[in-house]
Chain A
């Protein structure tokens, strides 16, 4: 069985806390050992650079929207995050509607 959950977390004193809902799911499945890949904000900034989003843009968004720089990085990381696939199709179906829930 292979599961994959992605989330943002603070690393303090060498500890990363799982979001409660993920911890609960792992507990339900009896999973106690995980393979962990750490992705840092710096890596996210490198990914953003491929979209033409530089550090100046991140700083400007943080300043204009009154966000922490890390949050601004996350927000800009959302650009194109659903560029293809089923989620993209459901989002695009919303575009022309006037408020109904996305089609299943």
Chain B
């Protein structure tokens, strides 16, 4: 696997971790290339109200490759938006399309429902990875995720 795409909830957990907690994102940063999209970055920035707070959240975002919008995603976004029964709206379609086109599984706890059932999208439950006891087990769990077809 070439990397993973972190949803907003995983990044928020990192920034708000208590001193005695080991957030999943720390473990992932030491294990696999970590990406997110401009949407998650924008959501994180939206919580900041001044330059000091923006610098605080940037400390986490500096470590991630932030995928930007590209016309190459347009067809996949359109396919997902037009899929019968899809409920997630534009955000879901854009993030899912970027993950599919980039070959990255999405790691989240909070967005499992909206991403569930999207063809071609690999989804990893963050809480499952969190339960792995050590670095080797986390790497093994990530290695068992099927590669993009």
Contact = CB atoms under 8 A, between A and B. Distances in A.
Interface stretch (B22-30, B68-76, B78-86): B22-30
Contacts of A17: none
A86 B49 CA distance: 10
B57 A82 contact: yes
Contacts, number: 133
Nearest to B48: A87
Contacts of B111: 98
Given A72-B63, A91-B47, A99-B43, A79 B17 contact: yes
Interface in B1-58: 8-9, 12-19, 21-23, 25-26, 29-34, 39, 43-44, 46-49, 51-53, 55-58
Contacts of A72: 63
Given A7-B55, A87-B56, A75 B91 contact: no
B59 interface: yes
Interface in A61-104: 61, 64-67, 71-72, 74-83, 86-88, 90-99, 101-102
A64 B30 contact: yes
Interface residues of A, number: 43
B102 interface: no
Nearest to B11: A91
A78 B14 contact: yes
Contacts of A80: 14-19, 21, 23
Contact of A52 (B12, B22, B43): B22
B26 to A, nearest CB: 6
Nearest to A67: B63
A93 B43 CA distance: 11
A50 B17 CA distance: 13
B36 to A, nearest CB: 12
B15 A102 contact: no
Interface of B: 8-9, 12-19, 21-23, 25-26, 29-34, 39, 43-44, 46-49, 51-53, 55-60, 62-63, 65, 88-89, 91-92, 110-111, 114
29 contacts: A5-B52, A6-B52, A6-B55, A50-B19, A61-B29, A61-B30, A64-B32, A65-B33, A66-B33, A67-B62, A74-B62, A76-B63, A78-B15, A78-B62, A79-B23, A79-B60, A80-B17, A80-B18, A80-B19, A80-B23, A81-B57, A82-B56, A86-B49, A90-B49, A91-B12, A92-B12, A94-B47, A96-B9, A98-B92
